[in-house]
Amino acid sequence: LREPGLNLRVVQLFRDPRAVHNSRLKARQALLRESIQVLRSRHRAEPRGQTRQQQQQLLLPPGLLGGGRSSQPQHRAEFFLSGALEVICQAWLRDLLLARRAPAWLRRRYTQLRYEDLVREPRTQLRRLLRFAGLPVPPALESFVHNMTRGAAYSSDRPFLISARDAREAIHAWRERLSRQQVRQVEAACGEAMSLLAY
């Protein structure tokens, strides 16, 4: 970050963890390997000497709270996805706290963007990001961002399909798809980061 020849800038994108969990559940099979890798990264970083009970995480599905394995593949997939989300939220919290305590030279090279703000105000947020990066704002790029977030379609059954859709509907889709228990679990696991991000 201090290398003058690079002029590196960091944009960190955040999204409401409840919406993240909803999307990850929707694409559970496609994200299974990634979730396992995220969980492994947590276990490598955990301090030694913790008991198994201390290592239990909040987002475990009810059938796995005792440490046993569920015989149903969907429960195992949810276990890995939920555990990975908790690790992600912990990493977000570390990043947010680091950014708040960072020296001025680092704060000048780092900015945050909430997905919801980008979706609600695509042109305004694009201009802000490009200004931060010291880049011009081509009108064609503004139109592209606006069109990609205001398409006629909403969702796709195929994960990671990039197409124009009404992204504003995705902001609150979790409210209809997640159970109250799932919402409470995400909020318990991600509450500190959500508070700092004003979710």
Q: Is residue 124 part of a domain?
A: yes
Assigned domain for 3 exists? no
Taking a C-beta distance cutoff of 8 angstroms, is the pair 114, 128 a contact? no
Alpha helices (H) along the chain: 17-26, 28-45, 52-55, 73-101, 104-107, 115-120, 122-133, 139-149, 167-171, 174-177, 180-196
In a domain, residue 1? The reply is no
Q: What is the pLDDT of residue 116?
A: 95
10-residue mean pLDDT profile of the chain (199 residues): values are 86 95 76 72 58 44 41 64 86 95 92 94 94 93 88 61 76 91 93 96
Inside any domain, residue 73: yes
Residue type, 49: G
Q: What is the structure's pLDDT at 62?
A: 42
Give the domain extent around 35: 11-197
Q: How many domains does the chain have?
A: 1
Residue 15: the pLDDT is 95
Instruction: Give pLDDT, residue 53.
Output: 46
